[in-house]
Amino acid sequence: MINLEDLKKVKLFDYIGNDTLLKLSEIGNKVAFKKGEHIFRDKDTISSIYIILSGKVALYKLNEAAHKKVIFILGEGVINEVILEDMKSSINCEIFESAEILTFDKKRFINIMSEDFELTKIILNSMALKIRRLYRQMKNATPLKIEKRLAAKLWKLSKDYGVKQNDEVVIDLNISVAYLSDMFGMPRETISRALKILEKENLIRKERKKIIIKDRDKLASYFKGL
């Protein structure tokens, strides 16, 4: 069972009535995960719906050479609404930063959705947002130089996870070169070279494990200038 106060911390549920929240609390659990653990893997049969309470997760695929390609990093919301259909998982879900995850029995969750259209809209909107992000990724997959593709990715991460610091924006994620290479499915050396180019262009700087955007507008102009 989940504490009602925890459910009320989830922005997704801001417009859900107390009756529905109470029903959700009765069918769910709160589970803590450490960085690097998996919630589920590709081809798993999943009987739960997962929602992030705190922390971050990464959804990724493996290519033929068993190299990671990170599709999304999620900091809030529903992780796996796509498995509302009765099919196996089509992606891996790994904890990116230590997280607390709310888990709900899938069948009972769907039953509650049928009783509350607001909850159904929340799930549909979550799916729609992921689809829009996929469209954007497809657009950015056009044959651009890797440094411009990297600039576009860093701009998006600064939008989603940026923290203003004077005139700069800190991407509030501990992103290593290795993880960026997973995002692009490219060798680390290629990503390292691209980062150095962006640093030489005075668009970014690195401080410990953080990447800092010096000027988001200039970064946007850089990757939009084909």
**Spans of all domains in the chain:** 4-140, 146-224
Cα 145 from Cα 154, distance rounded (Å): 14
Total-model pTM: 0.74
Tell me if 67 sits within 8 A of 37, measured CB to CB: no
The confidence score (pLDDT) of residue 67 equals 80
The confidence score (pLDDT) of residue 76 equals 82
Mean local confidence (pLDDT), 68-76: 87
Q: Locate tokens 């504490």: which residue? A: 3
| List of E strands, 152-200 | 162-165, 168-171
Query: 4-140: CATH homologous superfamily?
Result: Jelly Rolls (2.60.120.10)
Same fold, 4-140 and 146-224: no
Nearest to 81 by CA among 23, 121, 135: 121
**Res 48 pLDDT > 60:** yes
pLDDT tier, 187 (very low <50, low <70, confident <90, very high otherwise): confident
Ranked by mean pLDDT, the top range of 5-9, 34-38, 58-62, 88-92 is 34-38
Bridge partners of residue 74, in order along the sequence:
57
The confidence score (pLDDT) of residue 22 equals 94
CATH of 146-224, one of 1.10.10.10, 3.40.50.1000, 3.30.450.20, 3.40.50.720: 1.10.10.10
